[in-house]
Structure 1
Amino acid sequence: MSNSASGMAVCDECKLKFLELKAKRSFRFIVFKINEKVQQVVVDRLGQPGESYEDFTACLPADECRYAVFDFDFVTDENCQKSKIFFISWAPDTSRVRSKMLYASSKDRFKRELDGIQVELQATDPSEMSMDIVKARAL
């Protein structure tokens, strides 16, 4: 069950909540964190459907790593309403080196557990996941 590189298991709740976001659109975003005590990736925060991208970015800690998925709605140049699920790996420069290494080594396995991710972003600073960047990556 655990990843040989980092030993992190993925809590079932992570997969269940992701499926709810993907299939039922129950959440706008989900923030995940690694709980080192139990060696598991767990749900840190669920964003309600009415919450914005700003609400999402505001809940990411300034000095701790996180994983997140964000359901991004947008309108194409052809005026089509679309949605893409982003996987965001948040590793601010101010976070501990050990934490950054742990998140980096666990990311690929965790991402594989979440079937349906369409775009991946890695950010070490809020400017690296600005709305302009998200829009550009979605199109």
Structure 2
Amino acid sequence: MQSMTKKKGANAASGMAVDDECKLKFLELKSKRNYRFIVFKIEGQQVVVEKLGGHEESYDDFQASLPEDECRYAVYDFDFVTDENCQKSKIFFFAWSPDVSRVRMKMVYASSKDRFKRELDGIQVDLQATDPSEMSLDIVKSRAL
């Protein structure tokens, strides 16, 4: 007989749960601007917070916190100045899937991405990257404007 218990927040299609801390920390980034970035990883059958980046951390620090050989999701609060000299910020969602990561891992991250992204209300720009050049600061700047 199948168990009727279901993980909190699990989705029947992907079977992936989203830890409440993911949503809580994202809300803090979005509304209170407590963090510059958040890196998320899939552990077992759920998405969890792996790293919180403080405001003193740079975009280089953010990129350095993504493993070279494993997939991750991340959000980054990008501050910029428009051509009209207005200070703005946009929240980027990154799906980091390096070419050298395991095929199974890439499949799990790809199949869970949209479901996870829906849990984070307020994402303004979505970027998929398979190597660091695809998420360079120049690309982020061009996508922000």
TM category (shorter chain) comes to: over 0.9
- Larger CA Rg, structure 1 vs 2: 2
Structure 2 residue ranges without an equivalent (≥5):
1-8
Q: Give the deviation of 1:28 after TM superposition.
A: 0.2
- Residue 17 of structure 1 corresponds to 25
Match among 59, 62, 72 for residue 66 of structure 1: 72
Q: Give the deviation of 1:2 after TM superposition.
A: 1.4
Structure 1 residue ranges without an equivalent (≥5):
none
Q: Among all aligned residue pairs of Structure 1 and Structure 2, give the percentage whose two residues are the same amino acid.
A: 80
Query: How far apart in 1 are the matches of 2:133 and 2:88?
Result: 24
Equivalences for 1:22-37 in 2 at 5 Å? Answer: 22-36=30-44
Spell out, residue by residue over 1:88-124, the C-alpha distance to the aligned partner (whole angstroms, 9 max, x if none).
Answer: 0000000000000000000001000000000000000
- Residue 56 of structure 1 corresponds to 62
- How many residue pairs match? The answer is 137
- Residue 102 of structure 1 corresponds to 108
Q: Which runs of 4+ in 1 moved over 6 A?
A: none
Between stretches 1-10 and 18-27, larger displacement belongs to 1-10
Q: TM-score, normalised by structure 2?
A: 0.93
Spell out, residue by residue over 1:118-139, the C-alpha distance to the aligned partner (whole angstroms, 9 max, x if none).
Answer: 0000000000000000000000
Query: How far apart in 1 are the matches of 2:48 and 2:14?
Result: 15
Q: TM-score, normalised by structure 1?
A: 0.97
Secondary structure at the residue paired with 1:31?
A: strand
- Aligned CA-pair RMSD: 0.6
